[in-house]
């Protein structure tokens, strides 16, 4: 009978219909069951919800709970009081953590929800900030600038032997067939809170993340195809064996023939990172070089010292390119790294009140939701809180 009640209340939680009284009732019922028994119950509910859903790792879920069980800090707010983790209440707090990490994470990963489900509570923030979108500025060779998010579809300009055409939320360069051989350079820039897609004259595709700039020729006429990147870009390069494709950043350049890769070269990051998805790339820095295989990432420190070493490691590719699929994916990332991504995408300032926690955080969150949804989810699954004041987010311990 109790299990039926728990299943019903969890269903209310997943439907975002759990009242404060029901939340208190659910926590009380959860506290009367053993960890494994409760995890098994949740596993059954999750797998019954969607045929073919990703299997639930009970060991990983229990490991998350154990981290909470060893804490001595407030983790859950109840009506009119704060629930402190004492010896008596530690399992109740762990159960609350299980709901936040287990159920909410399941909804995001397996139901691909476009919102972040949380318990029905009032919005704790003074205001909200909407997510970024398809925004960019095109600077032509003569210095003329075109705001692409407000420009209409169709021909925007003639640049040398290329026509610049806007197609939906992207920009395309195509041959004008005029026989002209002069080459000019254009620059595509995305603001904070913007992203944009570009098809280069050779057919290669580039996705620019927020606060990024790409400078490129309007025709590739020489023995190489070179572009310069600041910020972050994802590349799908057309294979031309006679013309290697090169991406130049502040600390390195990458040479490829035809491949898919991501380059993160933000100036406020500690290192420039090149991640390979398909094919093969060569990363070079002064006299050093490294050949990457799919799934590997090369890192070069942005230190002012010359001849920085190139570090190569295997990484989670899905996490690296999540932004191109409209998601934030965090795999044991620290809050400082997470807030940099949030700052760029939502075009907000971030401040820390006190020393940031060094705990790692794992989650998948849509980039299409208002920032309050992202912050609320972070609050449910970490020991941090947030305050939004205008365009400024403060991270509270």
Q: Which residue has the higher pLDDT, 285 or 20?
A: 285
Residue identified by tokens 């397996």 is 110
Q: How far is the C-alpha of 380 from the C-alpha of 205, rounded, in Å?
A: 38
pLDDT score for 175: 84
pLDDT tens by residue, 167-198: 988 999 998 775 556 779 999 999 999 999 99
Highest mean pLDDT among 113-117, 220-224, 312-316: 312-316
Q: Does residue 66 have a pLDDT over 60?
A: no
- The pLDDT value given to residue 326: 93
* Residue 118 counted as domain residue: no
- 312 assigned to some structural domain: yes
Cα angle 313-319-320, degrees, rounded to a multiple of 5: 65
CATH number at residue 336: 3.55.50.30
Distance CA 356, CA 129 (A): 22
Query: What are the φ/ψ torsions at residue 4 (nearest 5 degrees)?
Result: -65, -40
Mean pLDDT of 342-370: 90
Query: What is the model's pLDDT at position 111?
Result: 34
Last residue of a domain, one of 275, 299, 320: 320
Whether pLDDT at 244 is above 90: yes
Model confidence pLDDT, tens digit, residues 267-308 = 999 999 999 999 999 999 877 899 999 999 999 998 766 668
Residue 115 resides in a domain: no
Beta-carbon contacts of residue 312 (< 8 Å; ≥ 6 apart): 290, 292, 296, 297, 298, 299
Q: For residue 256, with 0-12 CB atoms within 10 Å meaning exposed, 13-18 middle and 19 or more buried, which class applies?
A: buried
Average pLDDT over residues 195-213: 97
| For residue 123, pLDDT beyond 90 | no
Structure tokens at 328: 């934030």
What pLDDT, on a 0 to 100 scale, did the predictor assign at position 30? 66
CA distance 312 to 291: 9
Together in a domain, 193 and 307 = yes
Please tell me which residue, 336 or 21, carries the higher pLDDT value. Answer: 336
Give yes or no: residues 236 and 383 share one domain. Answer: no
Q: Are residues 168 and 304 in the same domain?
A: yes
Cα separation, 344 vs 126, whole angstroms? 21
Q: How many CA atoms lie within 13 A of 122 on its CB side?
A: 5
Same domain assignment for residues 13 and 137: no
User: Which bin fits 251, alpha (ψ -120 to 50), beta or left (φ > 0)?
Assistant: alpha
117 found inside a domain: no
Predicted confidence band of residue 364 (pLDDT cuts 50, 70, 90): confident
Report the alpha-carbon distance of residue 120 to residue 12 in Å, rounded: 10
Domain endpoint, select from 266, 285, 320 = 320
- Report the distance separating Cα 235 and Cα 275, nearest Å: 10
- Structural tokens at position 294: 């799919």
2 contact partners, CB below 8 Å, separation of at least 6:
29, 32, 33
Domain co-membership, 77 together with 150: no
- Considering the domain architecture, whether residues 94 and 156 belong to the same structural domain is answered as no
Same domain, residue pair 253 and 359: no
User: Does one domain contain both 290 and 358?
Assistant: no
pLDDT, average across residues 121-142: 84
The predicted pLDDT at position 214 comes to: 98
388 neighbors 375 (Cβ within 8 angstroms): yes
Residue in 361, 360, 339 with CA at minimum distance from that of residue 348: 339
Residues 330 and 316 in one domain: no
Residue 359 has a pLDDT of 84
Q: Kindly tell me if the per-residue pLDDT of 52 is higher than 60.
A: no
Residue (of 178, 160, 168) closest to 199 by Cα position: 168
Residue percentage of the chain with pLDDT more than 90: 49
Number of domains in the chain: 3
State yes or no: pLDDT of 260 exceeds 60: yes
165 and 254 share one domain: yes
**Whose CA is closest to 357, among 380, 382, 379?**
382
How confident is the prediction for the chain on average, in pLDDT?
A: 79
Would you state the pLDDT for residue 69?
43
Give pLDDT, residue 320: 96
Residue 157 and residue 250 share a domain: yes
Interval 342-353: pLDDT, tens: 999 999 999 999
SS3 content of the chain, % helix, strand, coil (to 5): 25, 35, 40
Q: What is the CB neighbour count within 10 angstroms for residue 216? A: 21
Q: Is residue 128 part of a domain?
A: no
Task: Tell me the sheet residues that pair with 314.
Answer: 296
Supply the pLDDT for residue 316.
93
CB 222 within 8 Å of CB 254? no
Where is the domain boundary, 285, 320, 355? 320
Lowest average pLDDT, out of 120-134, 211-225, 326-340, goes to: 120-134
Is pLDDT of 101 > 60? no
pLDDT in tens, 80-99: 333 333 333 344 444 554 55
Same domain, 269 and 379: no
Crossing angle for the helix pair 35-49 and 2-14, nearest 10 degrees? 50
Q: Tell me, yes or no, whether 205 lies in a domain.
A: yes
CA distance 119 to 47: 22
Range of the domain at 73: 2-110
pLDDT, mean of residues 345-370: 89
């Amino acid at each position: 009978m109790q299990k039926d009640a728990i299943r019903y209340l969890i269903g209310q939680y997943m439907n975002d219909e759990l009242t404060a009284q029901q939340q208190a009732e659910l926590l009380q019922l959860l506290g009367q069951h053993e960890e494994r028994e409760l995890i098994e119950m949740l596993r059954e509910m999750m797998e019954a919800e969607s045929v073919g859903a990703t299997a639930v790792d009970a060991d990983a879920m229990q490991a998350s709970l154990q981290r909470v069980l060893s804490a001595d800090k407030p983790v859950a707010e109840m009506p009119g009081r704060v629930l402190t983790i004492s010896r008596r209440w530690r399992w109740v707090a762990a159960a609350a953590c299980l709901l936040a990490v287990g159920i909410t994470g399941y909804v995001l990963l397996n139901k691909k929800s476009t919102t972040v489900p949380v318990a029905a509570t009032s919005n704790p923030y003074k205001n909200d900030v909407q997510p970024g979108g398809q925004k960019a500025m095109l600077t032509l060779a003569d210095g003329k600038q075109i705001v692409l998010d407000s420009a209409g579809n169709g021909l925007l300009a003639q640049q040398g032997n290329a026509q610049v055409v806007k197609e939906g939320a992207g920009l395309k360069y195509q041959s004008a067939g005029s026989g002209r051989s002069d080459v000019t350079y254009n620059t595509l820039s995305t603001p904070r809170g913007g992203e944009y897609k570009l098809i280069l004259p050779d057919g290669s595709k580039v996705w620019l993340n927020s606060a990024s700039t790409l400078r490129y020729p309007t025709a590739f006429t020489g023995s190489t195809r070179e572009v310069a990147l600041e910020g972050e870009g994802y590349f799908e390069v057309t294979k031309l064996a006679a013309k290697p494709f090169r991406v130049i950043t502040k600390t390195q350049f990458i040479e490829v023939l035809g491949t898919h890769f991501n380059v993160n070269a933000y100036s406020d990051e500690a290192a420039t990172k090149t991640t390979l998805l398909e094919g093969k790339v060569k990363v070079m820095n002064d006299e050093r070089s490294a050949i990457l295989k799919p799934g590997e990432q090369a890192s070069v420190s942005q230190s002012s010292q010359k001849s920085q070493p190139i570090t190569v490691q295997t990484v989670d590719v899905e996490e690296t390119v999540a932004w191109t699929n409209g998601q934030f994916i965090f795999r044991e990332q620290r809050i400082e790294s997470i807030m940099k991504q949030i700052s760029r995408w939502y075009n907000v300032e971030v401040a820390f009140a006190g020393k940031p926690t060094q705990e790692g955080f794992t989650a998948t969150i849509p980039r299409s939701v208002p920032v309050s949804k992202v912050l609320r989810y972070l609050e449910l699954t970490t020991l941090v809180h947030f305050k939004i004041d205008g365009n400024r987010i403060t991270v509270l311990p």
